[in-house]
Structure 1
Amino acid sequence: MTESIETAPVLSRRALLKTASSAAACAIAPGWAMADTHSADLELCYMPASDLLTKFKAKDLSPVEVLEAQFRRTDAVEERLNNFIATYPEESLAAARASEDRYMKGEGLPLDGITIATKDELAIKGRPLTAGTLPLKDAIADETDPLAERLFADGAIPHAITTVPEMYFAGVTWSKAWGVTRNPWNTKYTVGGSSGGSGGALASGQTTLATGSDMGGSIRIPAAFCGLYGFKPPYGRVPASLGATFLLPSTSGPMARTLKDMILLQNNMAGPTPNSLTALRPKLTLPLEYDGVEGMRIAYNIDQGWAEIEPETLDLFMKAVEGLRSQGATLEEVDLGLGLTGPQIRLAITQALLSGAFGGQMKGLIAYADQLTSYGRYFAEVAATGMGPDEALAAANTIERLNILVQQAVFDNGYQALLSPTLNTSRVQADYDPVNDAPRINGKAVDPHAGLFQTPLWNLLNWYPVVSAPIGLTPYNMPAGMQIVANTFEDAICMQVAAAHEAVSPKLFSGELMPDIG
């Protein structure tokens, strides 16, 4: 579902911005049909939002130039990667020209001119809202989510909608509705899920920022697979999306290639919206700069007591631990003492998700069983056959017990943050089927749903803020990630540790550390 637009070569807008009136500048035709701009395009496609905003304000660069470059990038890579279900060139171009006009007048907005790919979950009136499932493939949103309204109000340009797995219920992104989404770092492998298209679009330079949501790791998993920063805010920091008021394990959040960009988007998303029921007051605005970690006590845990981790990922994780230790923090390994296996944690998150209103929606898909993916059908059947008040009570009891154990092991002992791997391996095929495939790590069979990720614990404990930060590339050219967990609602601690990590970690999306997709 993509608009088409006729384009023509143009002179550089930045040369005109200093001298032309805003009206003249806005009259220039779009130029993403140009063929000799690859290197310059890549610079614009991957430039951080924080740098773009500075250049826009100085009139050294136009939002139109960036948008055009990113649409050229999409033309070049989208067929191989499949990150988008819809793009909006004409509408976005008009928005970019309006943004340029505001900058010419000195009236720029907080995210003015910044492209943002929105997950196929964030409703924008008149645009698709399919949840990645065939029964809803032609569904169109009839209202705009307040979170999306904020993006428009701050001048951001939602230029594309990203792919998701069916009903957001997989850690990989493929569906009967939209096909397989592949990772630009290594197209054999997945972008993760469920915010997979958002992660892939960022990693491939098709957008500057992207929205995600997280109900089992759906921001942190693709952030790790794609080499990004992703934030699962504590429940209530970001207002619940339309229809998700009582989906307690879930929250919306930001994804970006740099920590500062991630915080910029988080500051847009945080705080109450009109009529919001779940949003915390007052709004928390996070700083963009942080002190170091010297003197901080930080715990780390490798496997939650159950996970099998490949050596390549573990090596990168331990290097990240040493990077923080080298800056004067005390890093100590802790045993969380959870007493649960990965499948038991998966059962608890499934109970928490499907024993309420969302379970009713999943149950309703049974009527369309022949149109569903293997994993969509599996979870629809689980919702229909075994989820009710008993399961809700079991999940609640598990959550309370896990919280006590985490507090006792970490925060009651004076640690200010907890580190763990995000993924147990990044070696997951793009079309991996969690129902029919049998994954192995280090030659050992692992649970097909729970054995690949260490994220669901923090959706059960959804009041803890968690950043997934990139920790480098494996020898098979796939990123890996590290979770940074702070105590309940202490978002700034996550950012402080993440900032220290970013200062000494490999800089993906720069120099030779770029996805090799042309």
Structure 2
Amino acid sequence: MMSEDLLYLTATEALKRFADKTLSPVELLDAQIARAEATADSINAFTYTHFDEARESAKASEARWVKGAPAGCLDGLPVAIKDESYIAGKPTSGGSLILKDFVAETTSPMNERILNEGAIVHARTATPEFSCAGITWSRLWGVTRNPWNTQMTPGGSSGGSAASLALGTSSLATGSDIGGSIRIPASCCGLVGYKPPYGRNPDDPPFNLDFYCHTGPLARSVSDAILLQNIMCGPHPLDIATLYPKLTLPTRYPDIKGWKIALSLDLGSYTLDEDVRRNTLAAADLFRDLGATVEEVDIGWGPEILDACMDYLTHLFGGALAGELEEHGDLMTSYCRDFAEKAMGSSAQTFVGSLETAGQAYLKLGPLLERYDCLICPTNALPAVPADFDPSRDKVEVSGRQVRPELGWVMTTPFNMMSRCPVISVPSGFAANGVPTGLQIIAPTYRDEIAMQAAMAYETACGGWFGNGQRPTI
């Protein structure tokens, strides 16, 4: 097998090859490490690497597969973990100079589950400081770039995870999503990214109690996303918000012939890049080819949705960062400090107002999802912003209109507000600058299987992604 084909094996295919002994975990890991080392300076997807330890783990896994006795359903598979959650005894920086010497004493629930299935954590993936931006760069780690076009961002905050998968330097990767941080980079890098409904997957306190916040998988295929999601999800004794019973998603689904799908190009108020518009309409046509009816709808939302989302995030998430200002403000990256300073001016009334807007927004979305099987819309309104874009300083325009620099160029945040709705982002094509674009599939509350069924049908019709001719030129 050519080394590039090896790098872009799906996780499910790699596991099959481990089982039939046509591929060794050592061979796969070595190929990924070689690519990671070759692209460390140009892409900068990883923060901490654990390559030597990972090689020893891969050798042990190889021995188990030879005996036909894998330790779990991810045995020997390299899984990159976002550098914000914890693994006991390993450093975690959160992309911040404040935590550059921090070593975790505990393991985050989702990481515990991944490790218990035999996964090999060979690296931690880059994130903006404290995951508070839709781009990925920090004073601590520098700029992470998009493998499809290195002048552009891979998105954020799970940008290192997405860049790694697009490079072929991991088989699966974890993300977290409080304003789009799984789906934004999935779109920017041509991947599948899943935001499960609130409570489906465990997280660490206090953000496990924030209904905007979700942990979830990034992958190169829908089947791979299901594989990792089924491991991450389920009730956990350390997270009161997690749902019982555990939901195990099927890996096979019926077709979607006869479905009714709602299409919103702009969610009522977003301005779209023309490449994004074109690719979204083409995706809608593909769903029609699959036998679904696709109808453009007016949800009835306006710009108040994004404004309320930003009010919520500033008050709660920014408020968490504001505690660092007095002692560590001089160490903070510009956009992070700006976010924290804005939180100092937030009020309880503003926060409650954001909740009132959320309630009104669902009064419009809920009935729509009763009439339609799912809703589709773009993931990002713009394919990507520059890799070194600073939302605290720079301006961004979409089709000639200036939008909010923090998250005005993405269309993910309303579905953090509508947090009980499962949302999966799948690739919808490419823009003229070579950067992928994405499509969100939004299912009714807690109907994860609806999102996966639609995504699987769409992916099958597309023929999958990262085949020959669909890979970044490294």
Match of 1:371 among 331, 339, 352: 331
SS in 1 for 2:324: helix
Does residue 349 of the first structure (1) align with residue 309 of the second (2)? yes
What's 2:447 paired with? Answer: 490
SS in 1 for 2:107: coil
Which stretch of the first structure deviates more once superposed, 83-92 or 189-198? 83-92
Instruction: Report if the CA contact (8 A) 1:346-1:449 is conserved.
Output: no
Match of 1:187 among 150, 161, 167: 150
What's 2:200 paired with? Answer: 237
Instruction: Report if the CA contact (8 A) 2:205-2:239 is conserved.
Output: no
Offset of residue 275 of structure 1 = 3.1
Offset of residue 373 of structure 1 = 2.1
Deviations 1:171-215 (A, max 9, x none): 110111111000000101000000000000000111000000000
Offset of residue 398 of structure 1 = 1.2
In structure 2, how many angstroms separate the alpha carbons of the residues matched to 1:96 and 1:382? Answer: 46
In structure 2, how many angstroms separate the alpha carbons of the residues matched to 1:50 and 1:94? Answer: 22
Percent identity between the aligned chains? Answer: 42
In structure 2, how many angstroms separate the alpha carbons of the residues matched to 1:191 and 1:245? Answer: 26
What's 1:447 paired with? Answer: 404
In structure 1, how many angstroms separate the alpha carbons of the residues matched to 2:385 and 2:318? Answer: 28
What's 1:107 paired with? Answer: 69
In structure 2, how many angstroms separate the alpha carbons of the residues matched to 1:296 and 1:427? Answer: 31
Instruction: Report if the CA contact (8 A) 1:472-1:505 is conserved.
Output: no
Offset of residue 347 of structure 1 = 3.4
Offset of residue 506 of structure 1 = 6.0
In structure 1, how many angstroms separate the alpha carbons of the residues matched to 2:336 and 2:291? Answer: 47
Match of 1:382 among 333, 336, 342: 342
Instruction: Report if the CA contact (8 A) 1:147-1:241 is conserved.
Output: no
SS in 2 for 1:348: helix
Does residue 464 of the first structure (1) align with residue 421 of the second (2)? yes
Instruction: Report if the CA contact (8 A) 1:355-1:383 is conserved.
Output: yes
Offset of residue 242 of structure 1 = 4.3
Assess, with a 3 A threshold, how the Cα gap between structure 1 residues 313 and 354 changes in structure 2: closer, same or farther.
Answer: closer
Does residue 295 of the first structure (1) align with residue 252 of the second (2)? no
What's 1:250 paired with? Answer: 213
Does residue 411 of the first structure (1) align with residue 369 of the second (2)? yes
What's 1:420 paired with? Answer: 377
What's 1:503 paired with? Answer: 460
In structure 2, how many angstroms separate the alpha carbons of the residues matched to 1:445 and 1:237? Answer: 36
Q: Structure 2: which amino acid aligns with 1:351?
A: D
In structure 2, how many angstroms separate the alpha carbons of the residues matched to 1:101 and 1:353? Answer: 48
Does residue 268 of the first structure (1) align with residue 231 of the second (2)? yes
Offset of residue 446 of structure 1 = 1.9
Assess, with a 3 A threshold, how the Cα gap between structure 1 residues 285 and 471 changes in structure 2: closer, same or farther.
Answer: same
Which stretch of the first structure deviates more once superposed, 474-483 or 125-134? 125-134
Does residue 198 of the first structure (1) align with residue 161 of the second (2)? yes
Which stretch of the first structure deviates more once superposed, 358-367 or 420-429? 358-367
SS in 2 for 1:419: strand
What's 1:46 paired with? Answer: 8
Deviations 1:400-439 (A, max 9, x none): 111111123x223x20100000011114100111121111
What's 2:25 paired with? Answer: 63
What's 1:431 paired with? Answer: 388
In structure 1, how many angstroms separate the alpha carbons of the residues matched to 2:286 and 2:406? Answer: 32
Q: TM-score, normalising length from structure 2?
A: 0.97
Q: Structure 1: which amino acid aligns with 2:67?
A: K
Q: Can you give the 5+ residue segments of structure 2 that lack an aligned partner in the other structure?
A: none
SS in 2 for 1:467: strand
Deviations 1:425-476 (A, max 9, x none): 1141001111211111222222212321010000011000000000111222
What's 1:214 paired with? Answer: 177
In structure 1, how many angstroms separate the alpha carbons of the residues matched to 2:319 and 2:272? Answer: 35
Q: Structure 2: which amino acid aligns with 1:421?
A: P
SS in 1 for 2:458: helix
SS in 1 for 2:58: helix
What's 1:401 paired with? Answer: 360
What's 2:106 paired with? Answer: 143
Q: Structure 1: which amino acid aligns with 2:359?
A: E
In structure 1, how many angstroms separate the alpha carbons of the residues matched to 2:463 and 2:281? Answer: 14
Offset of residue 360 of structure 1 = 4.2
Instruction: Report if the CA contact (8 A) 1:146-1:274 is conserved.
Output: no
Offset of residue 394 of structure 1 = 1.2
Tell me which of the two structures has the higher relative contact order, counting C-alpha pairs closer than 8 angstroms and 6 or more residues apart: 2
Offset of residue 391 of structure 1 = 2.6
Which stretch of the first structure deviates more once superposed, 447-456 or 223-232? 447-456
Q: Structure 1: which amino acid aligns with 2:336?
A: G
Offset of residue 302 of structure 1 = 0.3
Which stretch of the first structure deviates more once superposed, 494-503 or 135-144? 135-144
Does residue 85 of the first structure (1) align with residue 44 of the second (2)? no
In structure 1, how many angstroms separate the alpha carbons of the residues matched to 2:421 and 2:238? Answer: 24
Q: Which has the larger radius of gyration?
A: 1
What's 2:122 paired with? Answer: 159
What's 1:480 paired with? Answer: 437
Deviations 1:75-125 (A, max 9, x none): 111110011111111211121122112212221221111111000112001
Offset of residue 274 of structure 1 = 3.1
What's 1:514 paired with? Answer: 471
Deviations 1:140-169 (A, max 9, x none): 211111211111110111110011011111
Instruction: Report if the CA contact (8 A) 1:147-1:269 is conserved.
Output: yes
Instruction: Report if the CA contact (8 A) 1:247-1:353 is conserved.
Output: no
Supply the RMSD in Å over aligned alpha carbons. 1.4
In structure 1, how many angstroms separate the alpha carbons of the residues matched to 2:393 and 2:237? Answer: 44
Q: TM-score, normalising length from structure 1?
A: 0.89
Deviations 1:351-382 (A, max 9, x none): 333444x4443111212222222211111112
In structure 1, how many angstroms separate the alpha carbons of the residues matched to 2:187 and 2:318? Answer: 28
What's 1:24 paired with? Answer: none
In structure 1, how many angstroms separate the alpha carbons of the residues matched to 2:386 and 2:7? Answer: 26
Q: Structure 1: which amino acid aligns with 2:298?
A: D
SS in 1 for 2:469: coil
Instruction: Report if the CA contact (8 A) 1:215-1:250 is conserved.
Output: yes
